[in-house]
Amino acid sequence: MNPQAKPALLATVFSDYICPFCYIGDLRLDRLRDEFDLKINWCLLEIHPDTPAAGMPVSELGYSDPLWQEMMENLETLADEEGVHFRPHEFTANSHQALLLAEAAKEEGAGVFYRLHRRLFEAFFTEGMDIGATDVLTEIARETGVADTTRERAWSDPRYERRLAEYLAAARSLGVRATPTVFFGEQRRLDGALPFAEFRKAARAGAADQASDA
Read off the CATH number of the domain in which 133 is found. Answer: 3.40.30.10
For 33-92, how does the pLDDT look when each residue is reduced to its tens digit (9 = 90+)?
A: 999 999 999 999 999 999 999 999 999 999 899 998 999 999 999 999 999 999 988 999
pTM attached to this predicted model: 0.94
Question: Over 80: is that where the pLDDT of 2 sits?
Answer: no
**Would residue 93 count as lying in a domain?**
yes
* Predicted confidence (pLDDT) per residue in 151-177, tens digit: 999 999 999 999 999 999 999 999 999
Q: What's residue 1's pLDDT? A: 44
Domain membership flag for residue 207? yes
Domain count, the chain: 1
Asked if the structure places residue 149 within a domain, the reply is yes
Closest C-alpha to 61, from 86, 88, 89: 89
Summarize the confidence of residues 9-18 as an average pLDDT: 98
Q: Which domain holds residue 161?
A: 8-213
Closest CA to 100 of 116, 118, 111, 123: 116
Quote the distance between the C-alpha of residue 11 and its chain's center. 13
DSSP at 47 = S
How far apart (Å, rounded) are the C-alpha atoms in residues 38 and 200? Answer: 12
Q: How much of the chain, in percent, has pLDDT values that exceed 70?
A: 98
Indicate whether 150 belongs to any domain: yes
Go through 125-144 and write b for each residue having 16 or more CB atoms within 10 A of its CB, e for each that does not. Answer: beeebbbbbeebbbebbeeb
Contact 182, 21 (CB under 8 A): no
